[in-house]
Structure 1
Amino acid sequence: MGLVALDLPAPAQLRGRWAAFAAVCAARKWGSMCHAEGRVWHFDDAGGNWLKLHHLDEGRAVLTGNDHEYSETYYGPAAEEFSEEETDLLAGAPDWWRPVVQQTLDAEDYVGFVYGFDGADGWKRAEYSVDDGFRSVGLPALSLEETRESITVFTRNAPGLNGAAPPQAAVDALIAADGDVTEDHVIAVIGKGGWDPAAGAAAARKSLAF
């Protein structure tokens, strides 16, 4: 059984968007929702659904995650616990995917999807027909439009905006900073007062750690 090619942005394309959303989350003191830590970028929807992008050597990456409402894949311990037919998320996968998945299982998290990026041929996954829940987790960074919309919705209650939407030019500049975010970038989006732009800039810059 071969691997299935996926039409997803490369990690380098995701960074500016992921870091921008991490910045507004951290400024709002919700940094656990979206952040970078070492070589791992994390996102969750604050409802128990999550994904992590693990950066490996040679430009490779592995993305794991689970949506407890919509992942119809049951891998490893989940198949046994829920008495469901197992979906082999590593069928046909190269060996370098496996340590990341095992790390997740060791943390006692269920895995609903595993995607691998080899640095050349794009993202791939094992072949299966059920919904793995990836799209329903709702990662804003999948497109520029989704990132803009998520930042706009997330910041509408920022005290510094007085109920207004953030300027789109400021949102675009925050994304275009590609992780190299300053306090001024964050202030331009959230306004002054109430939230913490220094925390936002620091969180975004963690995506530059490797």
Structure 2
Amino acid sequence: MREIDLPSPDTMAPRWSALAAVLAAYGPRWAESAYSDGSTWHYDDGGGNWADIRFLGDGRAVLLGHDHEYSETYFRSAAEYFGESETDLLSGCPPWWAEAIGDYLDRIDSEGTWIGFIYGYDGSTWTRADYDGDDGFTSLNVPFLGGQPVLKQITSQLTMSIGGRPAGAAPDPQLLDRVLAECPELSADTAQALLGGRDLDIDAALRAAHQFRRSS
């Protein structure tokens, strides 16, 4: 097992929540790229690359995902499919990792949903199996590892032209800091300040942000 340096889920929660709120404000299609259903947090970049966190009790969690361009770890039937040597992403890992993501493991064979990385969080430390191949996580550029990357992505979203809607003005940096400080408990006033006047769904934004609240 190798210890890896990643923020705790509690540290990532405000960032993931803030992006999910902004995307949800644009409508259901955009909302599919970052959301929480309570037990799982999802992110994808719209190009087939994704990362999810599945939560268990006692503060434990499993982070998994795949970058179809850069993941060089071929797990389970992916090795045979691509004619590569297998990387066992669960080698030496506690049984609860596999139990937590059993549905994902089933989809490897049933849907060809490849997995490039699997990391476990025991409540204090992230670890992974001991392998040397590039698992694609770094290339995925998940924005929740730092506050500035996710605020940059939010700014990009709010300033692009979408579906004939003119590009919006860049939000005030202090307002973005306020959004990040509040999430996942984003207030209606702050959501209105960020999204009001942009013809976006503020109620959907609030619902998406609040889904990242966790009791354990």
- TM-score, normalised with respect to structure 2: 0.90
Measure the CA separation in 1 of the matches of 2:136 and 2:127. 15
Give 2:148's aligned residue.
145
Deviates more, 1:132-141 or 1:23-32: 132-141
Measure the CA separation in 1 of the matches of 2:97 and 2:69. 25
Alignment match of 1:190 (pick from 188, 195, 200):
195
- Gap regions ≥5 residues in structure 1: none
Give 1:115's aligned residue.
119
Classify 1:101/1:74 alpha carbon distance in 2 versus 1 (closer, same or farther; 3 Å).
farther
Aligned residues of 1:23 and 1:204 also touching (Cα < 8 A): yes
Query: Deviation per CA, 1:77-133, whole angstroms, max 9, x where unpaired?
Result: 11111111000101110011012343112233111000000002x111111111101
Structure 2 counterpart SS, 1:203: helix
Classify 1:146/1:177 alpha carbon distance in 2 versus 1 (closer, same or farther; 3 Å).
same
Residue 46 of structure 1 pairs with residue 42 of structure 2: no
CA apart distance, 1:162: 6.0
CA apart distance, 1:148: 1.3
Instruction: Say what the alpha-carbon RMSD is for the aligned residues.
Output: 1.8
Give 2:98's aligned residue.
98
- TM-score, normalised with respect to structure 1: 0.92
Give 2:159's aligned residue.
156
Paired-residue identity, %: 42
The residue identity in structure 1 corresponding to 2:12 is L
Query: Deviation per CA, 1:18-50, whole angstroms, max 9, x where unpaired?
Result: 000000010112100000002100000011100
Aligned residues of 1:183 and 1:200 also touching (Cα < 8 A): no
Give 2:61's aligned residue.
61
Give 1:181's aligned residue.
186
Measure the CA separation in 1 of the matches of 2:180 and 2:118. 26
Structure 2 counterpart SS, 1:104: helix
Aligned residues of 2:56 and 2:100 also touching (Cα < 8 A): no
Greater than 4 Å deviation, 4+ residue runs:
158-162
Please list, as runs of the form range in 1=range in 2, the aligned pairs for 1:191-210 lying within 5 A after superposition. 191-208=196-213, 210=215
CA apart distance, 1:158: 7.1
Give 1:124's aligned residue.
127
Aligned residues of 1:158 and 1:191 also touching (Cα < 8 A): no
Measure the CA separation in 2 of the matches of 1:199 and 1:161. 21
Please list, as runs of the form range in 1=range in 2, the aligned pairs for 1:66-105 lying within 5 A after superposition. 66-105=66-105
Q: What is the number of equivalent residue pairs in this alignment?
A: 207
The residue identity in structure 2 corresponding to 1:37 is D
Give 1:15's aligned residue.
13
Query: Deviation per CA, 1:159-203, whole angstroms, max 9, x where unpaired?
Result: 999632111111111111130112322222233241111111110
